[in-house]
Structures are given as structure tokens and as C-alpha cells.
Chain A
Amino acid sequence: MKISRNFLADYLNIKKVDFPQLAEKMVALGHEYDSYYRLVDASKLVIGQVIDCQKHPNSKKLSVCQVDTGDGTKEIVCGATNVAAKQKVVVAKVGAILPGDFKIKKAKIAGVDSHGMICSFAELGFDKKFLKDSDWQEIMVLDDKAPVGADALEYLELDDEVIDFDLTTNRGDLLSMLGMAYEIGALYQLDVQYPPTDYQENNESIANKYSLNVTTDKCPLYLAKLVENIKITDSPQYIKNRLIACGIRPINNVVDISNYVMLETGQPIHFFDADKLQNIGVRMGKKEEVQTLDNQIRKADENDIVITNNDEAIALAGVMGGLSTEVTAETKNIIIESAIFHPSNIRNTAQKTLRSEASSRFEKGIAKERTFLAIKRACYLLVKHAEGEVAKDMLKHDKMPVVDKEITVSLEHINRILGMSLSIDAVSKVWERLQLPYQKRQNVFRVLIPPRRLDLHIAEDLIEEVGRFIGFNEIKSSLPKTTIKKGMWDEKMVYCQQIRDFLIAKGLRQTINYSLVSVSDNKMFSSQKPIALLDALSKERDVLRTSLLTSLLNTYNYNYARQIKDINIFEIGAIYQKEQTYQEENRLAILMRGVYLQNKWQKMSVTVDFFLLKGIIEELFNYLGLQNRYTFKVSTINNFHPYQASDIYINNQKVGIIGKVHPELANDVYMAEFDLEYLYDIAIKPIKYKAPFRYPSIQKDVAFLMDADIPTAEIEKVIKQAGGRHLEKITVFDVYEKEKQKSIAYSLLFRDETRTLNDEEVLNILAKIINVVEEKFNAQVRNK
């Protein structure tokens, strides 16, 4: 919302107010602003009179003018097509500065000295949308009364300042100069003056020519007045200036008045060409089409309020007028509409068609008094600036109850919420500044809420007003007085944090990736159907991921493309799916690639492979209290290496996967993913003391030759069974394959925790092991 100083000054005596300072003070009241600026950022522009104007000797397009600027006559070369002798014009003398920090200097133009510049309207630095072609080509020609030598911007009332406020959505009342006048008036303790509405009416009657039929309760108030014989022309300069300052493009005197009144009162009004209208109606749409002002066909359904003529929809109420009843250059008679439409219907209609200056005001609510004020102001201005003749009566549909809104609030309540100890007087002063009538009985206020303050409903709203004007920063800080209690962590979150910290200690970096991904990305490592957005921003992010792996692989690619080759990362985050209800499940994904440990000059390095990642995962499981409970099973996984992938099981439940990413996707990248919800739910044994070993162990090595496809996990299972309680540890220390056979060598550690084992009994156990393995796997023992 842009506020013009000159505009505001009509309602509030702000002569002594410093405008930039005002902007800062408004921030303290809760009204932020985007910018403050002078409407025309130029200086030393004066009014001059062209005394003589001759063709330039060397150019057909240029003229050489002698211009009286009050302090002498200056020779100025001018390129405008309309420059002529006797004109009063705006002159930028040598030393003047035009917008864009354009300094005017003495210049030679096509061989003739030029001591300044005669300005066009466009040269004052307005946004293109406010300018007509002629504003570029032609210089501004002022009226004859313009005093030569005077400040041109001041004379044109362009010496204006603007603050562009970024208002909160609850303060619809501030979308008007009058509303702003009340707020700023409260700030500076100034009284608000209402604009004049005194005009003459003639004996014509709107009721004789037109009818009004409102059949929906979504339009509680509708007023229509007839203004005849209007003359369409340009608006007076002050109206144009103010519209431009407020960001609205001037069109002609009539259209401009409708916008001007809306800016002034906050009530959007609409003008119909009265000769294209007979029986005005307001009803809900019924799946019909409306051709709007912008020449578009819009659909109106039962939630849209429409204006009708002879029951045919001609406009989307409160959002946009219709093309068929538009005011044009030929329009002679107009009907003014000033009405209130239900905010949520307007909001709904505007959302699917267009958010306009009008709709944004309607959807925040309008005070009834403004509906009446606006129609009077429109008549007044049409009489004044368009020679309009106003019919004596008004079509009126008024089903809007006048409710005296009153809020009761006690001083104790105010102080209890603010944490302050304000006096009755201090609070009373706030009501007075805001021009809120009130009564007080003992320490209780009854505050009458004027219709303009649609945002005040409950005691707390008034408490906020007190806080705003006393200053929230006057509040003394303290801490809540309360009983001491332990702060509780979320256990699942703690579990995730423990996993996070473990992986960090192992040299991995935590990443956080977007939950929204593309369908094709999501498919790479998951066959689950993802939850899709109804109205996605882009195809890149239109479903919720069902696996974290693609995110990690994308992060890998991002880094790899930036010459980072050693990448050890993980993410702990949710995946999303819909079963009966929406499910969010925490997962852990790890990606590792490249060198894990190295010393180059010592020619030592450990590079990530399947088994390094497996080691990290096993250590993690051990850390989580799941020793000896997990198994790895050979598997094939989509987009993983066909012979380097495995499912991971705990208690016969698949909890995750690990493997090498398919070389078609990435080189030497290893990934794993786990379901943390399941891991979290597994009960684990508490840590319990166990005495350190007191008796020595005996180690025996044994190697077998067998079919290459038998996984070692199966062999170890058999060895373990055969080894019994004395077999403490099985370690594979050599594997090699040859002609579909493999040789696998185990180092077996035996111990008894109650005595020293002798070699003979160990050899007996070993013999048993060899026997069973040979038999079960059709294996041969090598070097006994």
C-alpha cells in the first residue's frame, strides 16, 4: 500500500511531520515498509516561458528556443514536436538534477549552445506503465497562470513523498487514506478531517429508470446512484499525481475518480455505462460465462457473486467489471455501484480469476459507513471534475445490521497479558489517541469499536493496541515462574541423533536433502507408489520420496561434478507413503566412495569398497546393541551392481540393503539404506559386566576347497554349530577362486573360560568341524 504525503495531507495536518521518520515510527507500530522515496527525484526544475522558437539551423527535428526562466533568458535546444512560442514549460536549468542522477550541463547540440532542457512528463522518472506515448514525445505545457521562475514540481504538486507499506492482512482498514489518517493521527495525536461531499442533486430519479434486485445474502449492502451528462476528459493534475503515487495508471477523469475514491475510502466502487443497463441484479452465478473488462471469458459458478442486467451476468462482483457495460469515451451517463460483498466469496472468485485492488479490499472486509461515504464522494467528484448531474435518489439494498461492537477489558487483564503495571490513565490515553470511545467503571473499560476497525474483536485485540502505543519494548523481561521439571527428549529423535553422531565419528558427513523429488528420480531405488502433490511447482519436485538413495546419489553427483572425489555422506530423514493413513518413516542412507584413509608419500591407502561399507554398518549395528543379530543375504537390487548387493536382515525381517551402485549410474559408489523405525523397535539387552578372559586361547587354521557359489555365512554357520561352546571366533583370512571352485581359509579361536584348553581336545573339535563341513558342502580340506 503506497501512501502519498500530499494525498494524506487532505485528511491530516502533517505539515510538520518528517515523512521518512514517519515510516520508522510506523514500523514500531507494526507496519513495515518496503521503501520510501520522493515521487520525482529531481531538483531545481523551474517554470519557464518560451519567448521565441525557431527551427534549428542544422536539424529538421530540433528547435532553438529562447526561454524566460525568471532569472533571465536562456537559449535551449529542444527536440519535442509540440514546442512553440508563448508556452509555459518545465525547465531543467544548468545544474539541475533529473531522476537517475542525470545532471544538466551546458551542451552544444548540433552546433548550437543549449543552456538547459525543456522537460517532458516522461523525463520526471515515472514508471513506463504510467506514461502515454505523448508523454515521451511532447514537452509538458503548463497553464497560462503558471508563475515564471517558480519551482515547477511544487506548482504541479509533484513535490510528493511516498512510503510503500507492507501491511499485515488483518489491517484491511489501512488500505485507504482515511484509515491511514486514523493510524497516523493516533501516532502524532492529530485529528482526522473528512473530505467534502456537498454537491447539488437534480430532479431526475434513478428509480424511475432502473430497478435493483439483490437475491443473495452474500451481498448485504448495495447502493446505486445515477450521474448524467458527464464529460469525459483528462483528470486534473492532482488526481493523476496521486493515482501515480499510489501505483495506479490514470486513464480519464471518470475512471480515475472511481480509483481515487477507492484509495481514499477503502471502498471499491464501480461505474457502469447507464445506457447499457436496465434492471440491475445481484445473485450467485449459475455455471455461466461473463465477459470481463479485460476481454476475457470468465466462468461464474454458484460460489461467485455476479452482477446482472435483465438477469444476464455482466460482471464478477467485487473482482472485475464487465465489458458490455464498460465506461468508454462515448459514455454520457453512469451508474455508480458502492456495495459490500461477502469476503470469502470474493476471495474465492479472485483466486481463480484475478487479484485486483478491489478484490483485495473486499476480501478483508469493508465498513458500512465507507460504502455510503464512497458513493457521496464519487458524486461530488463527478460533479466537480466531469460536469456530472446527480439524480436525487438512490437504489438501495440494505440488509446489513448496524451492530454496536463493544469490548470489555479490565486493567488487570491488560497488565496480566503484557506483564506490565500500567495505570488507568495510561490506558485511557491509548483509547483516546485511537479515537475509540470508552467508558470506565472502576478498573474495567468498555470500549466502543467504530465500524472502521474490523480487526478488533476480543479483549486481547485491545491489549495489543495498548502494547503498540505504549511500546512493547517497555516490557520488562523475566522467566516464567513454574515448578522445576526435567525436559524430555523425544526418544526416537535421540536414537537418530545417536546414529548420526556414530557416523560422524566414523568420518561421514551429514546431509539434508529435499523431501520432494521427481517421479523418475524416485523410481530409481524404490518401487513404491509415491504421494503426489495436487498442484506442484515443477515436475522436478512433484512427489514425496519413498527412498533416500536418489537424494544421496544426486548429492554425490553434485559434488563429483565439482572435483570432489572422496565422498562419505549420509542422511537421516523421512520417507512418505500412504496406506490407510499417511505414513512417515525415518530412514538412514549412507553413500561412500573413494579414499577412506591414506598417506600418499607412504603409499598407503584404504579405498571404499563393499566390505568397508559393510564394516561401518556392522559397527553401527553393534553400537545399537544388535551384535550377532544381523545377517547379510545375497540379493539383486534395482540399479545396483548385479553381483555386489545384499539384503540385511534382523530377526528374519529385512531392515535394509547394501551394495555397489550400478556402474552405469556411477563409478565405485557404494550405498546402503535402512528402516530406522524397525531398528528402533527392537528390544536390546542392557550392558552387563563380564569378567575379562583369564585363560589363554588356542588358534587353529583350516582351509577348504568347495563350490565357489556357497556363501561363507553358511559355512560359518555350520562351523559354529560343530565348534560348540569352545569356538570363540571365526575369521576368514584367505579366499581365492579358480574354475568355479574356491579355497577359503579360516582362522578359528578356541577358549574355555574356566580352564586352560589342551591341544588335543582342540584338535578333536577341529576334526569334527572338518568332517561336518566336508560332508555338508562336498568340500575338501586342504593342508591339515
Chain B
Amino acid sequence: MEKEIKQLKKDLEQAIAKVNDVKSLNDLRVHYLGKKGKITGLKEMLKELSVEDKKTAGKLFNDFRQEATDLIEEKEINLKRKALDEQLITEKIDPTLGATEIKTGSIHPLDRTIKEVLDLFVSMGYDVVTGPEIESDEYNFARLNLPKDHPARDMQDSLYVATDYLLRTQTSPTQVRTMEENKAKGPIRMIAPGKVYRKDDDDATHSHQFMQIEALVVDENINLGHLKGTLELMVQTLFGKERKIRFRPSYFPFTEPSLEVDVSCFRCDGEGCSFCKESGWLEILGAGMVHPAVLEMSGYDKEKYSGFAFGLGVERLAMLKYGINDIRQFYQNHLHFLELFERIDKEGHK
């Protein structure tokens, strides 16, 4: 028996070595391990052996049959792997070839800037407010302490649609509307973005249409320090943690005191460079303490309440932040311009 097994094993090994595909291997399997297979045939020999010999030979037979099965299976795995390898090589690609072009959308830079500012202020408990773009003379001017024939009306050339209605020249009427809606009671924290219009010819720095964000805080004991702290937080959020602000006295009829606010130049850290015209500072917005007459006209008790307000130009902010030099770009919507804003931006806005 041992002899036969040895011979058969040799034959099998030679046969397996010669096989090159799965089909031939299957034939081979049948040839050796099938019902009438050569190995299966050995089983017949066992019948003729003594009980004692049968025991030894039986083990030999079983071991051999297992070994043969394993050998064929191993060969099968090898053959399949080889076949797959051959398949894979035909699927070879050049990963440096061009990708499928998938369109990317983008938020408009003005909306993006508004979102950044609003996110900050909403997180501080400010309510977002909107107001009409076609506004009454009353709300746009008179209720903001700018009666008819006030020389300060020259600061904003207006576009009228009727004797008493105009395209709002500023978002400040939202201050009045909010105070009114609040029924002259209790504290206010509001932020109001929107389009405004001036009778200006369009050029690199002027636009007859632009966007502003208005903020108003009214409460007991509001002071200029609060305005400063709030604006510092804002410029640090928008332009980086190191930014400082500077107040310069100014004049707006609806605030007293009135201030122009500068941010330390984020290109040169306030050292002075061509971007900030060597001054180290960039003008970003107008602000002040709400004029008592404005509080009063909206029904607020000026003895009990005080407030601060500011209005910032969204274009101005975006132009500074991204180094845009022509305000008309925002409204031309050149796709190459819009494309610039399809990606994220991390802090450190140099």
C-alpha cells in the first residue's frame, strides 16, 4: 500500500505541476479524487488487508487523500490568483490622467462676508433683522435726527421713488423699526444686513448700490467701552486674533458721540505698508452712542437707556479682507472672480 501511495503521490505532483488552468485542474481532481478516481480506487485495496494492517494502511490512505485534496486546492488558489492578476493588469490606469469635471458652486463674497459677521453676532445673542429697501423719508432720515434741509443730508445723495419714499441710503432705519417694534421697552441686541443705495456714479470705489450691516444695542448702562469691546471681538474674528481697533471722532446725526473706527492693518501688523498707506490703520466702519433724540423719537426713555450702534460697509470689509481693488467686481459677477470664494479659509488672513 505504502508503495502505491508513494507512486501515486509522485504522479499527482507531476500532474499538478503540469496543470495551467482551473478546468484542467478540475479534471485532474476527478481523475484522482472522483468516485472512480485513482486515489479513491486505493480504498478497494484496504478491504483485502488484515484488521491490524487495515488500521495502519487506513491512516496512510486517509492522510494521503487529505494531502492530495490540499495540494489540488492550493493549486486552485494559485491558479485563481494568477487569473485575477492577469485580469487586473488589463485594468491598469494612468492616475495622472484628467479627472471627471464636477461643477463646484460658490457663495457670493458679499453673502459670505455677511454670514461671517452674522454668525458671530447671533452667537452673542443678537437678533437678525431686515427692513425694506424702499423706505420712507421719515425712517431713513427724520427719525434718525436728520430733518428735512439738514446739511448732513448731503453726506448721502439719495434716490427717490416718490416725494416721501426713497431707496434707503443706509441700514440705520432698521434701528428705528426695531426700537418701535420693541414698543420702546427693554433691551435690544440686533444686527441687520441689507442693500442700500446712493446717487453715486459707479467707479472703482463708488457704487450706487452696496450692502451694509447695522448693529444696535440698547440697554441700561451701555457705554463706549462696550462698543469698543464688541468691535474688537468682531475685527479679531474677521481679521485675526492680533487685531486692534482705533477710534477717531466723527459726526453722524444719529449718534453722539460719533466715531470712525479703524482696524490695525493685518498686512503689516500696524507697522505701515502700502496697503494701509503707511498709516498702520484701515478705516472699516462708523459707530457711536445712539443720539438721545433718536432714542426719544422711538419712545425710549433716554434717561434710563443708552445704546451703541454701528454700520459697516460689506463691500469695504470684503475688499480689505481679500484685497479686492474695484467695488464693481462684486456686481459684474465674473465667474473667475466668484470662483475665488468656493473654498474654505482658515484664520490668519494675510
Where the two chains meet, the residues of A that have a C-beta atom closer than 8 Å to any C-beta of B are 27-30, 32, 168-172, 343-344, 347-348, 363-364, 416-420, 458, 460-461, 463-464, 467-468, 472-473, 475-490, 492-493, 497, 500-501, 503-516, 531-537, 541, 544, 555, 558-559, 562, 564, 566-569, 574, 576, 582, 584, 595-602, 604
Given contacts A171-B251, A535-B159, A476 and B225 within 8 Å (CB-CB): yes
Mark B298-319 against chain A: 1 for CB-CB distance below 8 A, else 0.
0000000010000000000000
Closest to B106 in A: A509
B229 part of interface (Cβ distance < 8 Å): yes
Tell whether, in the assembled complex, residue A487 and residue B333 are in contact, meaning their CB atoms are under 8 Å apart. no
* A-B interface, 8 closest residue pairs, ranked by CB to CB distance from nearest: A419-B225, A507-B103, A30-B249, A419-B223, A504-B105, A344-B149, A168-B251, A487-B122
Interface residues of A, dominant DSSP:
mixed
Mark B64-94 against chain A: 1 for CB-CB distance below 8 A, else 0.
0000000000000000000000000000000
Tell whether, in the assembled complex, residue B133 and residue A584 are in contact, meaning their CB atoms are under 8 Å apart. yes
Tell whether, in the assembled complex, residue B151 and residue A364 are in contact, meaning their CB atoms are under 8 Å apart. yes
- Residues of chain B within 8 A (CB-CB) of A510 are 105-108, 111, 338
- Residues of chain A within 8 A (CB-CB) of B139 are none
Mark B190-206 against chain A: 1 for CB-CB distance below 8 A, else 0.
00000101011100000
B128 part of interface (Cβ distance < 8 Å): yes
Chain A to chain B contacts (Cβ below 8 Å), 29 pairs:
A30-B248, A169-B152, A169-B155, A169-B251, A347-B149, A347-B151, A460-B289, A460-B291, A464-B257, A472-B257, A473-B247, A476-B225, A481-B221, A504-B105, A504-B107, A505-B105, A508-B103, A509-B338, A510-B105, A511-B338, A512-B333, A513-B331, A537-B199, A562-B334, A582-B134, A582-B161, A584-B134, A597-B101, A597-B103
Tell whether, in the assembled complex, residue B105 and residue A534 are in contact, meaning their CB atoms are under 8 Å apart. no
B250 part of interface (Cβ distance < 8 Å): yes
Whole-angstrom distance from the CB of B3 to the nearest CB of chain A?
60
Q: Which residues 160-180 in B have Cβ within 8 Å of A in the complex?
A: 160-162, 165, 167
B38 part of interface (Cβ distance < 8 Å): no
Q: Report the separation of the CA atoms of residues A482 and B306 in the bound assembly, to the nearest whole angstrom.
A: 13
Which of A488, A509, A513 touches B127 (beta carbons < 8 Å)?
Answer: A488
B233 part of interface (Cβ distance < 8 Å): yes
Where the two chains meet, the residues of B that have a C-beta atom closer than 8 Å to any C-beta of A are 97-108, 110-111, 115, 118, 121-130, 132-134, 148-149, 151-152, 154-155, 159-162, 165, 167, 187, 189, 195, 197, 199-201, 208-209, 217, 219, 221-226, 228-230, 232-233, 246-251, 253, 256-260, 289, 291-293, 306, 330-336, 338-339, 342
- Residues of chain A within 8 A (CB-CB) of B336 are 564
Q: Report the separation of the CA atoms of residues A576 and B197 in the bound assembly, to the nearest whole angstrom.
A: 14
Tell whether, in the assembled complex, residue A417 and residue B223 are in contact, meaning their CB atoms are under 8 Å apart. yes
Tell whether, in the assembled complex, residue A487 and residue B160 are in contact, meaning their CB atoms are under 8 Å apart. no
- Residues of chain A within 8 A (CB-CB) of B339 are 509
Closest to B231 in A: A477
Q: Report the separation of the CA atoms of residues A503 and B107 in the bound assembly, to the nearest whole angstrom.
A: 10
Q: Report the separation of the CA atoms of residues A184 and B336 in the bound assembly, to the nearest whole angstrom.
A: 51
* Interface contacts beyond A482-B219, A508-B105, A537-B208: sample of 9 additional A-B pairs, CB < 8 Å, sorted by A: A172-B151, A419-B225, A460-B291, A475-B228, A480-B230, A487-B123, A535-B159, A544-B161, A562-B334
The total of interchain contacts (Cβ-Cβ below 8 angstroms) comes to: 252
Tell whether, in the assembled complex, residue B335 and residue A487 are in contact, meaning their CB atoms are under 8 Å apart. no
- Residues of chain B within 8 A (CB-CB) of A464 are 249, 256-258
Tell whether, in the assembled complex, residue B101 and residue A487 are in contact, meaning their CB atoms are under 8 Å apart. no
Tell whether, in the assembled complex, residue B161 and residue A601 are in contact, meaning their CB atoms are under 8 Å apart. no
Tell whether, in the assembled complex, residue A599 and residue B98 are in contact, meaning their CB atoms are under 8 Å apart. yes
Whole-angstrom distance from the CB of B341 to the nearest CB of chain A?
9
Whole-angstrom distance from the CB of B159 to the nearest CB of chain A?
5
- Residues of chain A within 8 A (CB-CB) of B128 are 487-490, 493
Tell whether, in the assembled complex, residue B100 and residue A477 are in contact, meaning their CB atoms are under 8 Å apart. no
Which of A458, A512, A595 touches B110 (beta carbons < 8 Å)?
Answer: A512
Tell whether, in the assembled complex, residue B331 and residue A512 are in contact, meaning their CB atoms are under 8 Å apart. yes
Tell whether, in the assembled complex, residue B127 and residue A487 are in contact, meaning their CB atoms are under 8 Å apart. yes
- Residues of chain B within 8 A (CB-CB) of A481 are 221
Closest to A344 in B: B149
- Residues of chain B within 8 A (CB-CB) of A461 are 256
Q: Report the separation of the CA atoms of residues A558 and B338 in the bound assembly, to the nearest whole angstrom.
A: 13
Tell whether, in the assembled complex, residue B228 and residue A532 are in contact, meaning their CB atoms are under 8 Å apart. no
Q: Report the separation of the CA atoms of residues A596 and B103 in the bound assembly, to the nearest whole angstrom.
A: 7
Tell whether, in the assembled complex, residue B229 and residue A479 are in contact, meaning their CB atoms are under 8 Å apart. yes
- Residues of chain B within 8 A (CB-CB) of A419 are 223-226, 228
Closest to B247 in A: A472
Which of B108, B228, B289 touches A417 (beta carbons < 8 Å)?
Answer: B289
- Residues of chain B within 8 A (CB-CB) of A420 are 225
Whole-angstrom distance from the CB of A255 to the nearest CB of chain B?
27
- Residues of chain A within 8 A (CB-CB) of B126 are 487
- Residues of chain A within 8 A (CB-CB) of B132 are 582, 584
- Residues of chain A within 8 A (CB-CB) of B165 are 582
Given contacts A533-B161, A599-B98, A460 and B151 within 8 Å (CB-CB): no
Which of B122, B125, B160, B289 touches A534 (beta carbons < 8 Å)?
Answer: B160
- Residues of chain A within 8 A (CB-CB) of B148 are 344
Whole-angstrom distance from the CB of A717 to the nearest CB of chain B?
34
- Residues of chain A within 8 A (CB-CB) of B127 are 487-488
Which of A170, A475, A597 touches B225 (beta carbons < 8 Å)?
Answer: A475
Q: Report the separation of the CA atoms of residues A245 and B62 in the bound assembly, to the nearest whole angstrom.
A: 121
Whole-angstrom distance from the CB of B329 to the nearest CB of chain A?
11
Tell whether, in the assembled complex, residue B229 and residue A534 are in contact, meaning their CB atoms are under 8 Å apart. no
- Residues of chain A within 8 A (CB-CB) of B130 are 490, 492-493
Q: Report the separation of the CA atoms of residues A487 and B217 in the bound assembly, to the nearest whole angstrom.
A: 13
Q: Report the separation of the CA atoms of residues A29 and B102 in the bound assembly, to the nearest whole angstrom.
A: 56
Q: Report the separation of the CA atoms of residues A493 and B115 in the bound assembly, to the nearest whole angstrom.
A: 11
Which of A27, A363, A468, A599 touches B99 (beta carbons < 8 Å)?
Answer: A599
Which of B121, B149, B209, B229 touches A487 (beta carbons < 8 Å)?
Answer: B121
- Residues of chain B within 8 A (CB-CB) of A363 are 151
Q: Report the separation of the CA atoms of residues A28 and B228 in the bound assembly, to the nearest whole angstrom.
A: 16
- Residues of chain A within 8 A (CB-CB) of B108 are 509-512
Closest to B124 in A: A487
Tell whether, in the assembled complex, residue B151 and residue A418 are in contact, meaning their CB atoms are under 8 Å apart. no
- Residues of chain B within 8 A (CB-CB) of A567 are 335
- Residues of chain B within 8 A (CB-CB) of A32 are 248
Tell whether, in the assembled complex, residue B100 and residue A576 are in contact, meaning their CB atoms are under 8 Å apart. no
Tell whether, in the assembled complex, residue B250 and residue A514 are in contact, meaning their CB atoms are under 8 Å apart. no
Whole-angstrom distance from the CB of A531 to the nearest CB of chain B?
5
Tell whether, in the assembled complex, residue B161 and residue A418 are in contact, meaning their CB atoms are under 8 Å apart. no
- Residues of chain B within 8 A (CB-CB) of A478 are 225-226, 228-229
Q: Report the separation of the CA atoms of residues A534 and B228 in the bound assembly, to the nearest whole angstrom.
A: 41
Whole-angstrom distance from the CB of A290 to the nearest CB of chain B?
21
Q: Report the separation of the CA atoms of residues A255 and B137 in the bound assembly, to the nearest whole angstrom.
A: 41
- Residues of chain A within 8 A (CB-CB) of B161 are 531-534, 544, 582
Q: Report the separation of the CA atoms of residues A537 and B159 in the bound assembly, to the nearest whole angstrom.
A: 9
Tell whether, in the assembled complex, residue B224 and residue A509 are in contact, meaning their CB atoms are under 8 Å apart. no
Tell whether, in the assembled complex, residue A343 and residue B219 are in contact, meaning their CB atoms are under 8 Å apart. no
Tell whether, in the assembled complex, residue A600 and residue B223 are in contact, meaning their CB atoms are under 8 Å apart. no
Tell whether, in the assembled complex, residue A29 and residue B223 are in contact, meaning their CB atoms are under 8 Å apart. no
Tell whether, in the assembled complex, residue B159 and residue A472 are in contact, meaning their CB atoms are under 8 Å apart. no
Tell whether, in the assembled complex, residue B159 and residue A533 are in contact, meaning their CB atoms are under 8 Å apart. yes
Q: By CB atoms of chain A within 10 A, which of B121, B134, B219 has the most?
A: B134
Tell whether, in the assembled complex, residue A485 and residue B257 are in contact, meaning their CB atoms are under 8 Å apart. no
Whole-angstrom distance from the CB of A29 to the nearest CB of chain B?
6
Tell whether, in the assembled complex, residue A463 and residue B225 are in contact, meaning their CB atoms are under 8 Å apart. no
Which of B104, B123, B162 touches A507 (beta carbons < 8 Å)?
Answer: B104
Tell whether, in the assembled complex, residue A515 and residue B195 are in contact, meaning their CB atoms are under 8 Å apart. yes
- Residues of chain B within 8 A (CB-CB) of A477 are 225, 228-229, 232
Closest to A27 in B: B248
Whole-angstrom distance from the CB of B236 to the nearest CB of chain A?
11
Q: Report the separation of the CA atoms of residues A170 and B257 in the bound assembly, to the nearest whole angstrom.
A: 12
Whole-angstrom distance from the CB of A176 to the nearest CB of chain B?
16
Whole-angstrom distance from the CB of A169 to the nearest CB of chain B?
5
Which of A364, A490, A598 touches B101 (beta carbons < 8 Å)?
Answer: A598
Tell whether, in the assembled complex, residue A482 and residue B149 are in contact, meaning their CB atoms are under 8 Å apart. no
- Residues of chain A within 8 A (CB-CB) of B330 are 512
- Residues of chain A within 8 A (CB-CB) of B225 are 418-420, 475-478
Tell whether, in the assembled complex, residue B125 and residue A602 are in contact, meaning their CB atoms are under 8 Å apart. no
- Residues of chain B within 8 A (CB-CB) of A513 are 331, 333
